[in-house]
Amino acid sequence: MADIRTTFAGLPLRNPIIISSSGLTNTVGKNKRLDADGAGAIVLKSLFEEQIMLEVDQLQDPSFYPEGSEYLKEYIREHKLSGYLQLIRDSKQACSIPIIASINCYHEAEWIDFARQIEEAGADALEINILALPSETDYAYGAFEKEHVKILRRVKQSTHLPIIMKLGNNLTSPVALIEQLYANGAAAVVLFNRFYQPDIDIEKLEHTSGEIFSKSSDLSNTLRWVGIASAKVEKIDYAASRGVVTPEAMVKCLLAGATAVEVCSAIYQQTNTFIGQANAFLSNWMDRQGFDNIAQFKGRLNTKDIQGINTFERTQFLKYFERIKN
């Protein structure tokens, strides 16, 4: 039988399936069930910097003295952090698989120092999710990417935990940024996070939510950049995210160079049974192909494969449309 164990960010996983930070992972009970149903690791629901600041603003009384405002801010902050630390402790006690904490932030905030307390609470790693859309007219090119490095450096000063950087797909050059993140101590990257999808109701003339879940068509961009980056920056681990909604998609990501996948939509839509189905498919596929372990085929079809270079890059576009006849 094939060995489907893998290693991600220095953590040994019994299989490549990591449950993404989401409402799926916000309670101990849910995490315990995910463990029992075969997940390889769990990323706890993110602690959002904006959420903390929004609650401060909503409760803030303009008549407060500055000292009162600071007290309220600190109280809300500590309340949120205390609850999150307890979720880490309880999940570690209830689960047998790695528990990865998650912080969602958009600038170099002071509370990133909370990383030290996350380590003390027992988390196995920390995922930093920098979810932002630079839209300023006076934006300096490259400033967004530099902010990623600044945040990573700040977090590394506070903890010895492996740091995983979850990136958006709105980067000038993902490969250049990944190289800098590796140089500054990141253990792994996740490609890519999923932004809120906006839509517009043209009858009610109001904003609405677009598609909530990722779908198979989202996988192409993930495969492209995992395939390119894993060949150019080899010493860092990659997890593929977005579009991993079938067992076949997981195999494709591993062939492109990922060591793990982060799944969320597949669990919401197919329940925890997806985990067992995907792992069984991976094991059976490896047996059919004659692979004993994941290392034997991981990255086999990234851009180091001379025939695969143009598959992920621009010139293949011409060949793609040559096949279409009028």
Beta strands 198-201; 188-191: pairing state: unpaired
Model confidence at 253: pLDDT above 70: yes
What tokens appear for 179 in the block?
């190289």
pLDDT, tens only, 107-140: 666 556 788 999 999 999 999 998 777 767 777 7
Residue 146 within any structural domain of the chain:
yes
Task: Please answer whether residues 187 and 237 qualify as being in contact, where contact means their C-beta atoms are separated by less than 8 angstroms.
Answer: yes
Do the Cβ atoms of 178 and 236 come closer than 8 Å?
yes
Confidence of residue 47 (pLDDT cuts 50, 70, 90): confident
Q: Tell me if 293 is assigned to some domain.
A: yes
**Contact indicator for 171, 191 with CB cutoff of 8 Å:** no
In a domain, 90, yes or no: yes
DSSP letter string, 42-106: EEPPPEEHHHHHHHHHHH--TTS-HHHHHHHHHHHHHHHHHHHHHHHHHHHHH-SS-EEEEEEES
1: in domain: no
What's the full length of the chain, in residues?
326
Q: What is the pLDDT of residues 155-209, one digit of tens each?
A: 999 899 999 999 998 888 999 999 999 999 999 999 998 777 788 989 999 988 8
Judge contact between 181 and 189, C-beta under 8 A: yes
CATH of the domain at 97: 3.20.20.70
Containing structural domain, residue 100 = 6-322
Task: Give the residue-averaged pLDDT of 92-110.
Answer: 86
Residue 65 predicted with pLDDT over 50? no
**75: in domain:** yes
C-alpha distances out from residue 79 to 11, 58, 143, 155, 247, Å = 30, 16, 32, 21, 40
- The neighbour count for residue 47, using CB atoms within 10 Å, is 23
> What is the pTM for the complete model shown?
0.87
Q: Is residue 119 part of a domain?
A: yes
Structurally, how many domains does the chain consist of?
1
Rounded to whole angstroms, the Cα distance separating 200 from 204 reads 9
Spatial neighbors of 296 by CB under 8 A, at least 6 apart, are none
Contact residues for 173 (Cβ-Cβ < 8 A; gap 6+): 145
Which tens digits make up the pLDDT trace of 160-171?
A: 999 999 999 888
Does residue 127 belong to any structural domain of this protein? yes
